[in-house]
Structure 1
Amino acid sequence: MEFDRTTLTSAQDEVYRALTEGRRSKGPRLFEMVAPDGGLYGPFHAMLANPEAGMALQRLGATLRYTTGVDPAVRELVILAVAAAKRNEYEWYAHAAVAASLGVPADVVHAVGQGETPVGVTAAARAALRVTRCLVTGTPFDTEPARETLGRAGLATVICLVGYYTMLADLDTVDGGGLPPAVVRRFGHPPEPTTARD
């Protein structure tokens, strides 16, 4: 179905503009957010379904990406680890490009995609990936070593990143904004829809 921006409510259009004209639109365009018909790829389209929540989500995402003190390369490895765990194609596509732009080696990105801890990364990256994997699998972890390595604010930011990008991966299932046509799927075919049972 073709996207028609003229059908958006004023609240939906405000979210649309925040996503397409805000901080994410500045600087080099490392990945596509907007489809040729104006629709939004990935989870962004679903943010329009509930514009009040969508606006809050896009603000949180911008805060986590642009104003927190975590090393940008560590941030991207956390996001990629969540994308791999959730098999979320759009977030993998987008943030693999961001990681590459930050100079993260391809073998490090590949290792994260395989659920491995890459060789040669910083202690902060190792700690952040350990926390991320525990959170996405529901495994308890000892916060003290992570807090010693990442700092209190860093650990809190990693936890927020994991929660936010897990939510985006799940939000992507609402009506799946999909991927730009030229993007090769990292995780194969989309998963079959499941029906929840009581």
Structure 2
Amino acid sequence: MKSPSLWMSSIGLSSLAVAAASGWFAATMFAGPATSKEPRFPQLTMDQLDARQKPLGEQVMKVSSVGLAGPYNPMMRSPVLGQKLFDLFAYLRWDTSVPVKLNEFAIIIIGRQWRSQVEWFAHAPLAQKAGLSPQIIADLKANKRPANMAEDEATVYDFVTELTTTHKVSDATYARAKKIFNDQQIVDLTAVAGNYVMVAMLLAMAEESTPPGKEAPFKPGEP
């Protein structure tokens, strides 16, 4: 079992956290949260949780570096779903068959596509810690196909990008993946990408952003 850190420190006992490649949606669709209105989901604290929410909240607090913030805040509003997601992401983060470096790379590919401040803030450091080159991370953040990727990294980038932007995987891309990954790994890679699409959607809907005092990775007007 891989040990939790940062966001999946923030995402889960087993975690949470979950799309789409460069520039496939206009940046304006992912504008930051409005500042002139009440938050869509006021931040919950442990003492505000009811009997249905508290068991999940206690699990989250054991592993989360951001407490009940990020995706956990809206998840608490649907505690049965939240618990099932928490358990699913335990596998997708800590027990997946995909090597951690490539798993985190897939996550930040999704985070970049969605310009998800929280996903990038949480997972770019985890990807680097797992061994992904800082230059690859920088290229991805700049909305470019990273240069100098190893074969497995390039395969993950092309597989995830093609699936999320064209809604299919070509025979050529699938054949490349089969040279590197077994069937379980291909299924797990697909699932982690789709999972972080869902997380990005949840964060966008709830207008969740980076923790207070932390700089947002993506600035207004950037692609």
Q: TM-score, normalised by structure 2?
A: 0.72
Deviation at 1:103, TM superposition (A): 3.2
Offset from partner CA, 1:115-136 (integer Å, 9 cap, x none): 4343333322211111111222
Distance 1:122 1:151, change over 3 A: farther
Deviation at 1:177, TM superposition (A): 3.6
Task: Judge which range, 155-164 or 141-150, deviates more.
Answer: 141-150
Deviation at 1:2, TM superposition (A): 5.7
| Structure 1 position 148 matched with structure 2 position 179 | yes
Q: Contact 2:110–2:196 (CA<8 Å) still a contact in 1?
A: yes
Which of 19, 33, 40 lines up with 2:66 in the alignment? 33
Work out the CA distance in 2 between the residues paired with 1:140 and 1:108: 24
Q: Tell me the residue number matched to 1:15.
A: 56
Which of 160, 163, 170 lines up with 2:191 in the alignment? 160
Q: Tell me the residue number matched to 1:29.
A: none
The count of residues paired between Structure 1 and Structure 2 equals 177
Work out the CA distance in 1 between the residues paired with 2:53 and 2:150: 41
Distance 1:134 1:187, change over 3 A: same
Q: Tell me the residue number matched to 1:51.
A: 79
Q: Tell me the residue number matched to 2:146.
A: 118
Q: Contact 1:89–1:186 (CA<8 Å) still a contact in 2?
A: yes
Q: Tell me the residue number matched to 2:129.
A: 101
Deviation at 1:111, TM superposition (A): 1.6
Which of 127, 137, 141 lines up with 2:155 in the alignment? 127
Deviation at 1:137, TM superposition (A): 1.2
Residue type of the partner of 2:207?
A: G
| Structure 1 position 66 matched with structure 2 position 94 | yes
Work out the CA distance in 2 between the residues paired with 1:9 and 1:180: 24
Q: Tell me the residue number matched to 2:21.
A: none
Q: Tell me the residue number matched to 2:18.
A: none
Deviation at 1:5, TM superposition (A): 2.5
Work out the CA distance in 2 between the residues paired with 1:2 and 1:45: 6
| Structure 1 position 77 matched with structure 2 position 118 | no
Deviation at 1:42, TM superposition (A): 1.8
Residue type of the partner of 1:171?
A: L
Work out the CA distance in 2 between the residues paired with 1:79 and 1:9: 32
Structure 2: which 5+ runs fail to align?
A: 1-41
Work out the CA distance in 2 between the residues paired with 1:157 and 1:116: 25
Residue type of the partner of 2:146?
A: P
| Structure 1 position 175 matched with structure 2 position 206 | yes
Structure 1: which 5+ runs fail to align?
A: 26-31, 35-39, 191-198
Deviation at 1:184, TM superposition (A): 1.6
Distance 1:182 1:106, change over 3 A: farther
User: Which fold has the larger relative contact order, with Cα–Cα distance below 8 Å and residues 6 or more apart in sequence?
Assistant: 2
- What RMSD, in angstroms, separates the aligned Cα atoms of the two structures? 2.1
Offset from partner CA, 1:20-63 (integer Å, 9 cap, x none): 21xx45xxxxxx422xxxxx222121111111111111111121
Q: Contact 1:128–1:150 (CA<8 Å) still a contact in 2?
A: no
Work out the CA distance in 2 between the residues paired with 1:75 and 1:2: 29
Work out the CA distance in 2 between the residues paired with 1:55 and 1:144: 36
Distance 1:157 1:12, change over 3 A: same
